[in-house]
Amino acid sequence: MSTFKIVAMSGSLRKKSTNTAALRAAQELAPAGVTVEIVEIGDLPLYNEDLRHEGSFPAPAQRLREQIKAADAVLIACPEYNYGVTPALKNALDWCSRPANQPFAYKAVGILGVSGGAAGTARAQSNLRNILVGLDAYAVNQPQVMIGASGSKFDAEGKLHDQASRDFIKAHLEALVKLANKLKS
């Protein structure tokens, strides 16, 4: 039996990011036969078309494109900055959006987000869903994972201990696998 591979990226570059911590929780909660690999986006240069030469990309962008292309699905932890996606996440998506085998095309994408406020990351997730349309990707619709009041849901080491949030992540991963398998058939 082959392993179903999910590539996960966090829109937060902070070392103690609760969004990245939620991706680590997803690694623990992945269904049997599913792996979740967290990939790096912090080393990407700012998107600049001049950095592409005759169809090639800077090494970090090429690496990310290949990781996404090789994955069965993608999971994005989407923090909210000023009612939208973070610059780091938008930059990563821009590097993947260029022509020549755009890696998000027909790819299933899961979205989760963590914030300290009560509303979670609803506006940023909505913004991200619009961006994914431009990438020709398919986002999981339900269940949505918006973890608010993060200070009470993660311990000092960054482990997600809130059972309801863990249950939402697990259900979201199951829906992501289901959507990806449906898109493949």
CATH code at position 158 = 3.40.50.360
Domain range for 96: 4-184
In the block, tokens 């899961």 appear at 110
Stretches in the chain below the pLDDT threshold 50: none
Residue 160: name the closest of 10, 23, 35, 15 by CA: 23
- Position 1 scores a pLDDT of 54
Q: Dig out the tokens for 181 from the structure.
A: 């398998």
Burial of 27 (0-12, 13-18, 19+ CB in 10 A): middle
Q: Which helix (H) or strand (E) holds 130?
A: helix 122-134
The amino acid at 168 = F
- Position 135 scores a pLDDT of 95
**Integer Cα distance of 148 and 166 in angstroms:** 13
Residue 104: name the closest of 143, 142, 141, 64 by CA: 64
pLDDT, tens digit, 9 for 90 and up, residues 80-114: 999 999 999 999 999 999 876 789 999 999 999 99
Give the contacts of 39 (CB within 8 A, at least 6 positions apart).
7, 8, 9, 64, 67
- Position 118 scores a pLDDT of 78
- Position 53 scores a pLDDT of 72
For the chain, the domain total comes to 1
**Integer Cα distance of 35 and 50 in angstroms:** 35
- Position 41 scores a pLDDT of 98
